[in-house]
Every structure is written in C-alpha cells, then in structure tokens.
Structure 1
Amino acid sequence: MSRGEREGFKGNKAHLPSKPCQQCGRPMSWRKAWARCWDEVKYCSDRCRALARRGAP
C-alpha cells in the first residue's frame, strides 16, 4: 500500500466533478460529504438556499 492510499485522496482536485449553483451560478466542486447526494445538491451555500426560497433573482 502506498503512502497516498493510507492518507486518503491527495491528488489533483481539478479532475473531480463540478456543477454551477442554481442561485448564483458559481461552480461547486464535488465534496466527499456530498458523495451520496451529489445529484441532489443544488446550492453552494446556505445563503443561496435561503435566497432561492425567498424567490430572489
């Protein structure tokens, strides 16, 4: 087992998936915490989620 395999992912994060936030359009990079629900992630932050609920442009 190599050192990188023992310590987790240390590679180039540019190859991870990304998609734009539905509210502000900023790109969101994949996170390990979102591994199970990546298809459901729509907003980059709580602020964007709150603005979307209020119907802000």
Structure 2
Amino acid sequence: MARQRSKSDLPTKICPVCGRSFTWRKKWARCWDDVKYCSERCRRRRSQIQDNN
C-alpha cells in the first residue's frame, strides 16, 4: 500500500474572493488547474465582488 501524503505536502491556492488559502482535494484531481474558488459560496459571490470594485 502507498504511503499517504501529509496535508502540508498538498498544493494550495489563494481564493480571490475571500483571500484564504485552500488545499487540493481528491475531487479536484482532474481539474485542479481550473479550480479558482475555495467553496461554492465564494464561487457564487464572485460577481458581487467584481461589481463593488
């Protein structure tokens, strides 16, 4: 059996809406390059942030 990676070894990104960092998830394995937002809530709020600027 393969060794598990520790959470600190996983890639991270910064969410442009809330500014928090988020870590790679298994469900994002195929589309990690396309993931921009940390959550569904931030994805929905992206237009509100752009309208305020």
Superposed pair shares fold, TM > 0.5? yes
- How many residues of Structure 1 are paired with residues of Structure 2 in the alignment? 50
Q: Return structure 1 stretches of 4+ with deviation > 2 angstroms.
A: none
What is the RMSD of the two structures over their aligned residues, measured on CA atoms?
1.7
What is the identity percentage for the equivalent residue pairs of Structure 1 and Structure 2? 50
Alpha-carbon distance in 1 for matches of 2:46, 2:5: 34
User: What is the TM-score normalised by the length of structure 2?
Assistant: 0.77
Which residues of structure 2 form unaligned runs of 5+? Answer: none
Which residues of structure 1 form unaligned runs of 5+? Answer: none
Q: Does 1:23 align with 2:21?
A: no
Larger gyration radius, structure 1 or structure 2: 1
